[in-house]
Amino acid sequence: MSDVKELVERYLAAWNETDAQARRNLVAQVFAENATYTDPMAAVRGRDSLDATIAAVQQQFAGLRFSLGGSVDAHHDIARFTWHLGAEGAEPLVIGFDVVVIDDGLISQVLGFLDRVPAAA
């Protein structure tokens, strides 16, 4: 279980990394080459598309950080966890829930859900 929690923490670190090269390195360490990511706002495949999606989210929510919103629940190479996006120490602006499938120590699939999103301006 600790390996899964560490992988989830690296996953969130990739979403927080704003240096493009460092983020690409993290994406390569976390995601399988043809990993898929699906949430209500995006459906992408492959590390390059994942990196571009992360960069776009960072631009949309500049200055905010992802953090683990509770424990990681895992079994049979599948894990689920809640994440928060917000300013450090503040109430999260966005709350989501991800399910990840792990193959050979890397995430091969992410299924994401948004539980709380800001109202449209």
Q: What is the dihedral of CA 62, 67, 69, 72, to 10 degrees?
A: 140
Distance CA 94, CA 32 (A): 26
- pLDDT-derived band at 120, boundaries 50, 70, 90: low
pLDDT of residue 116: 95
Which residue's structure tokens are 């929690």? 5
Q: Quick: pLDDT tens for 11-69.
A: 999 999 999 999 999 999 999 999 999 999 999 999 999 999 999 999 999 999 999 99
- List all residues 6 or more positions away from 97 whose beta carbon is below 8 Å from its beta carbon: 80, 81, 82, 83, 112, 113, 115
Q: Spelled out in words, what is the top-level CATH class assigned to the domain 2-116?
A: alpha beta
Q: At 76, is the pLDDT very low, low, confident or very high (cuts 50, 70, 90)?
A: very high
Distance CA(118)–CA(121), nearest Å, equals 9
> What is the residue extent of each domain of the chain?
2-116
Buried b (16+ CB within 10 A) or exposed e, 43-68: ebebbeebbebbeebbeebeebebbe
**Model pLDDT for residues 12-24, shown as the tens digit of each residue:** 999 999 999 999 9
